[in-house]
Amino acid sequence: MQYFFPQPPYLLLIAGLLASIASGLAFEAVLKQSVKEWNENKSTRSLANMRGPSLFTPFLGMAGGAFFFLGAGVEIFGIPTAFAYGVSLPLTIGTAWLVWWQLGKILTQIEQGGSAALDLDSWG
């Protein structure tokens, strides 16, 4: 009796990681630029409303890369493909939603109290 084990998706694992890193760098640059412009101009536009397509697009790239990285990582351990990505999808969507929601809260805090509002050293 002969068994066939498919080759683990190492290439997809690396591609997902690289996509997340590249998108993360773009996300960082856009976020820094948006906050810098808001700080210099003190525009009437709130920081929380700056989470538009220019910031959401690289965020989706990070989430998509994380989805493939997580799915391929689970699949490497011999888990069937459908189950691996079935587990990866809700984890990625849930985590991405929580991060996006937290980003909005942090931007609101910065807008209301400046960067001193995020002083984590003052907690206890």
Could you tell me the pLDDT band of residue 121, with boundaries at 50, 70 and 90? Answer: low
Q: Which of 17-26, 27-36, 39-48 has the lowest mean pLDDT?
A: 39-48
The one-letter code for the residue type at 53 is: P
pLDDT of residue 106: 83
**Structural domain spans, the chain:** 10-113
pTM higher than the cut 0.85: no
Instruction: Say if residue 123's pLDDT is above 70.
Output: no
Instruction: Say if residue 109's pLDDT is above 90.
Output: no
Q: Is 2 helix (H, G, I), strand (E, B) or coil?
A: coil
Could you tell me the pLDDT band of residue 41, with boundaries at 50, 70 and 90? Answer: confident
Q: What is the pLDDT of residues 16-30, one digit of tens each?
A: 999 999 999 999 999
Largest alpha-carbon pair distance within the chain? 72
Here the tokens at position 36 are 């810098």
Q: Is 43 helix (H, G, I), strand (E, B) or coil?
A: coil
Q: What mean pLDDT value characterizes the chain?
A: 85
Instruction: Say if residue 114's pLDDT is above 90.
Output: no
User: Do 46 and 111 touch, CB atoms closer than 8 A?
Assistant: yes
